[in-house]
Amino acid sequence: MFDRGLNEECGVFAVIGNERAASLTYYGLHALQHRGQESAGITVLSDDNKFLTHKGEGLVTEVFEDRRHLKKLIGSHAIGHVRYPVTGAEGPANVQPINLTATTEKISIPYNGALINAEQIKTTLESEGSIFHASGDAEIIGHILRRKKGSFVDRLKESLLEIDGAFCYVLLHDSGVYVARDRYGIRPLSIGKLSD
């Protein structure tokens, strides 16, 4: 049995442009299990441009014990997350990836890190009408992006100037997958390519 006492950090993973994206993400999360044992989740962007998500509390093998959940995640882009417990951010509402849908776009975010200005940003966003359903930082990033104007890439760049702390995340958007990490490079983030 996996030692649930071993808590390192969260882990994020993504696969782009592969019809086995969900399955490869499952194995990637399994390899990152040492970084988080509280919950696991995967979101794919389906061929008809919809997000399909399965997530839950527990180890990767527990969340996807029924392999039918994984087989339903059909799409060529997938993102995933394993989470370690953070005080004040426990429970099902904080299981990632966090999916946010607006009238014009949708985003899904698995996140690793801590924003040191999270409370300040959240207070500002709430005063502007944002409603939060979770207590983690991933949803804050999503709300910042939704408030910005311009192309998605421009909004993403602008949002990175607003947030401060140690973090990395992958973001699934209608237009593809994006990755980011803090300006200090504190959180690990690697990019690789599978051979053909």
34 and 84 Cβ atoms separated by less than 8 Å:
no
Q: Which amino acid is at 14?
A: A
Beta 111-115 vs 106-109: how paired, if at all? unpaired
User: How far is residue 4's CA from residue 50's CA, in Å, rounded to a whole number?
Assistant: 34
**The tokens of 83 are what?**
């989470």
Is 168 a catalytic site residue? Answer: no
Catalytic residue among 10, 44, 82, 156: 10
131 and 120 Cβ atoms separated by less than 8 Å:
no
Collapsed DSSP state (helix, strand, coil) of residue 13: strand
Active centre residues (catalytic)? 10
